[in-house]
Structure 1
Amino acid sequence: MTHPSTLSHRPATATDLPTIVTFPQDANELFFAYPKANWPLSVGQLAASMAERRDSTVVVSEGRVAGFANFYQWQHGDFCALGNLMVAPWARGQGVAHYLVAVMERLAREHYKATRMKVSCFNANSAGLLLYPKLGYLLDGIVERRDPQGARVALVQFGKALKAETAA
């Protein structure tokens, strides 16, 4: 596992897009991260998503873009909803998602005064289902959705209260 001190983050830029679109390894992974996208993920699709979302952020590990996420909903003083969370295949299992979720929680508090973060995860995304409860997210609900083939899937919704940052 990469030590979090070797990870950094910054706002995503247009030059990051060709790298980020390679993160989903198949249509299922793309569906988990970006359900409205068509396989394979293109720079155009990701740019369109970033244009309608907020705080698109990348994690950098050893000089390489290792993760990406943004907010697809934001309500000032209330909540932010995490979206498009993707980790590069070479960086998986190294704490990138943990680090990125913590960064996005901080951005939600700082930029939107959010008191709650919402995340959603499809039932077949075992990595996500295991990650979010470990980070303190609690089950909010389960709603029915359809996958690209029209099959019924469960979208598992989690939430977490964001505590105010305390001055050190």
Structure 2
Amino acid sequence: MLYHRTLSHDDLATIITFPESKEELFYVSPKFVYPLTPEQILALLENRVEPTVVRDDESDDVLAYANLYDKDDQEGTCWLGNVIVSPRHRGKGVSDFLLFTMMEKAKVNYGLKKMQLFCHNTNSKGLAFYDKHGFKPVGLNISKTEPVKYIAIKMERDL
């Protein structure tokens, strides 16, 4: 059985092991530098809310992590960020549970009506996952940052 709770400092040592490559970490956040460190996560949390972990009820292992940011009460929107699932638990419904948890938090805790996210154009698994859950492309963000240029697809769905 899965459950969720607020991120604790003790969870960081496990979460930093989830990204298996530079590319995968880039999908979590272009601001992160491989290998991921607890300090990077904590620094990003200064402007984020609802840092959430999914845990396994039996083993109490940390299985996934995400947060919300740029909450706009006037527009009724927020952004989903830093989504990552343990490599051993991918494809087992953990990401579904995490996404529904984050959508519920945005809706219930903040009264928001829409969730937005960016998914990189090369992240086909991520794009398929979000499409399956009702997120639709609504725009592009073309990075002009050197040395890595990328296209992030803006997706959104009603809550």
Under TM normalisation by the shorter chain, which class is it? over 0.9
Q: Which runs of 5+ in 1 are unaligned?
A: 1-5, 163-168
Asked if residue 29 in structure 1 is aligned to residue 27 in structure 2, the reply is: no
Q: Which residue of 2 aligns with 1:19?
A: 14
Counterpart pick for 1:63 among 60, 68, 90: 60
- What stretches of structure 1 move > 3 A for 4+ residues in a row? 146-149
Deviation at 1:145, TM superposition (A): 1.7
**CA spacing shift, 1:36–1:63, aligned 2, 3 Å:** same
Deviation at 1:148, TM superposition (A): 6.7
**Aligned to 1:159, what secondary structure does the other structure show?**
strand
Q: Which residue of 2 aligns with 1:80?
A: 78
CA distance in 1, matches of 2:40, 2:112: 28
Counterpart pick for 2:96 among 92, 98, 101: 98
* Contact 1:75 1:112 (8 Å CA) reproduced: no
Counterpart pick for 1:155 among 142, 148, 152: 152
Asked if residue 50 in structure 1 is aligned to residue 45 in structure 2, the reply is: yes
2:124 maps to a residue whose letter is S
Aligned length: 156
Deviation at 1:76, TM superposition (A): 1.9
- Over aligned residues, Cα RMSD in angstroms? 1.4
Q: Which runs of 5+ in 2 are unaligned?
A: none
Asked if residue 121 in structure 1 is aligned to residue 116 in structure 2, the reply is: no
2:18 maps to a residue whose letter is F
CA distance in 2, matches of 1:146, 1:27: 19
Q: Which moved more, 1:41-50 or 1:82-91?
A: 41-50
Identity of aligned residues (%): 34
1:118 maps to a residue whose letter is Q
Alignment of 1:107-118 (within 5 A): 107-118=105-116
Deviation at 1:126, TM superposition (A): 1.5
Q: Which residue of 2 aligns with 1:40?
A: 35
TM-score (norm 2): 0.92
- 1:54-104 Cα offsets, whole Å, 9 max, x none, are 100001124210000001211125111000000011111111111111000
